[in-house]
């Protein structure tokens, strides 16, 4: 059974919801504490996966809702506090890892650039060489632009863990998973009231323009500028894969 299928089964088990029901209801059954022997080095990876599955987020003004807790003990064993129904899914997940093994999580580094483009303007400053191909494509779509680099941010986090950074003007939050050399990123960026929340598939070493938006003009005759949010991913194994 593939890991994704097991996670789906685990989620359905712990919610008690049939397929098609949109709002999961956390179980109210008694919590049971159990430990699981897992392959050496896999405890933290399993903890990260289960932590995401066991969290339902905030509902209204209530605190975040958890249907269980998971941690790794000093001896490397997985510790799970959850209803009995949840433990059935945990057993299946652990059994799959024991039979097939699991890779240690890699470090994923995302670099973000905030670039402003002014229509018809001369290039006021040289741009980073790694951005040139992406900016050339932007010019094909948007027309002649002079680009100005406003801010660059870099955040590193383990695959399956969250990372965030408050920069000078821009804040970013990321949750990146690397499964079978495929990077899936849940990203949130905010700058001066402009907010981006998206999920994208990234390739290590490739530059991607996440979004673009207009910027306010101070005077009626001012040229309408564009702000571009650009990202590039790299893993601990290197850019090329």
C-alpha distances (whole Å) from 136 to each of 115, 127, 228, 240 are 13, 11, 13, 22
Burial classification of residue 160, based on how many CB atoms lie within 10 Å of its CB (0-12 exposed, 13-18 middle, 19 or more buried): buried
| 133 has a pLDDT exceeding 90 | yes
Lowest mean pLDDT among 5-19, 22-36, 186-200: 5-19
H or E stretch including 4?
helix 3-15
3-state class (DSSP) for residue 91: helix
pTM recorded for the entire structure: 0.66
Residue 39 has pLDDT above 60, yes or no: yes
Residue 29: predicted pLDDT: 67
Q: Residue 32: pLDDT above 60?
A: yes
Note the residue count of the chain: 241
Kindly state the average pLDDT of the residues 172-185: 87
Convert the pLDDT of each residue in 46-79 to its tens digit: 887 888 778 765 554 454 567 889 999 999 899 9
Lowest mean pLDDT, pick from 38-47, 67-76, 99-108, 112-121: 99-108
- Please tell me the predicted confidence (pLDDT) of residue 102: 67
Torsion of CA 60, 71, 93, 173, to 10 degrees: 50
pLDDT for 25: 42
pLDDT for 168 beyond 60: yes
What residues contact 218, with CB distance under 8 A and at least 6 apart? none
* Kind of pairing between the strands at 170-179 and 161-166: antiparallel
Q: Pick the closest to residue 44 from 81, 82, 74 (CA basis).
A: 74
Q: What is the mean pLDDT of the chain?
A: 81
Token pair listed for 33: 């504490």
Structure tokens given for 189: 């960026």
How far apart, in Å, do the first and last CA atoms of the chain sit?
26
- In this prediction, residue 214 carries a pLDDT of 85
- Asked whether the predicted pLDDT for residue 240 surpasses 50, the reply is no
pLDDT band per the 50, 70, 90 thresholds, residue 21: very low
What pLDDT, on the 0 to 100 scale, is given for residue 164?
Answer: 96
Residue 219 confidence (pLDDT)? 53
Q: How much is the pLDDT for 52?
A: 77
> Tell me, what's the pLDDT at 15?
46
The tokens describing 16, both together, are 């008690």
Strands (E), 159-240: 161-166, 170-179, 182-191, 194-202, 207-214, 226-235
Describe the chain by its helix, strand, coil percentages, rounded to 5.
25, 40, 35
pLDDT of 103 > 60? The answer is yes
């Amino acid at each position: 059974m593939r890991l994704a299928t097991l996670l789906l089964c685990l989620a359905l088990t712990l919610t008690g919801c049939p397929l098609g029901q949109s709002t999961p209801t956390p179980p109210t059954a008694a919590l049971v504490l159990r430990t699981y022997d897992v392959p050496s080095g896999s405890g933290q990876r399993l903890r990260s996966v289960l932590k995401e599955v066991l969290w339902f987020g905030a509902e209204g003004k209530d605190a975040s809702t958890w249907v269980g807790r998971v941690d790794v003990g000093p001896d490397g064993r997985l510790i799970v506090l959850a209803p009995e129904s949840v433990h059935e899914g945990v057993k299946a997940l652990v059994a799959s890892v024991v039979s097939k093994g699991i890779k240690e999580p890699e470090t994923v580094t995302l670099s973000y650039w905030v670039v402003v483009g002014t229509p018809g303007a001369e290039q006021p400053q040289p741009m980073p060489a790694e951005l040139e191909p992406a900016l050339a494509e932007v010019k094909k779509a948007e027309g002649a632009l002079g680009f100005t680099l406003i801010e660059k941010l870099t955040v590193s986090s383990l695959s399956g863990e969250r990372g965030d950074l408050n920069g000078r003007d821009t804040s970013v939050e990321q949750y990146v998973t690397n499964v079978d050399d495929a990077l899936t990123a849940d990203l949130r960026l905010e700058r001066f009231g402009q907010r981006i929340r998206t999920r994208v598939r990234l390739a290590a070493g490739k530059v991607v323009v996440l979004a673009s938006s207009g910027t306010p003009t101070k005077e009626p005759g001012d040229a309408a500028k564009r702000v571009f949010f650009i990202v590039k991913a790299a893993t601990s194994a290197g850019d090329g894969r």
